[in-house]
């Protein structure tokens, strides 16, 4: 089986924006979530963005684990 590579990139600039992207096996970067900081970060972070990022990352880890056990 060929080696697979999954890259996850987090980019942020305080008071400006946050972005999570992913790239698999040399493909193009795909945006998972992007948020411009408009003064509501406190309210949006835990209720939305952080949860989405955790769920995505956990899903990727579970997929990789299942493939490796197969």
Written as one string, the DSSP assignment of the chain is -----EEEEEEEETTTEEEEEEEETT---EEEEEEE-SS-HHHHIIIIIHHHHHHHHHHHHHHHHHHHH-
> How much is the pLDDT for 47?
75
Spatial distance between the Cα atoms of 30 and 8, rounded to a whole number of angstroms: 10
Q: What is the mean pLDDT of residues 21-41?
A: 88
> pTM of the entire structure?
0.81
Q: What is the mean pLDDT of residues 16-31?
A: 93
Spatial distance between the Cα atoms of 68 and 4, rounded to a whole number of angstroms: 11
């Amino acid at each position: 089986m060929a080696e697979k590579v999954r890259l996850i990139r987090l980019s942020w600039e305080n008071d400006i924006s946050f972005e999570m992207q992913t790239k698999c096996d040399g493909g193009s970067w795909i945006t998972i979530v992007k948020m411009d900081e408009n003064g509501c970060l406190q309210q949006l972070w835990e209720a939305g963005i952080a949860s989405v990022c955790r769920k995505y990352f956990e899903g990727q880890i579970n997929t990789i684990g299942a493939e490796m056990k197969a």
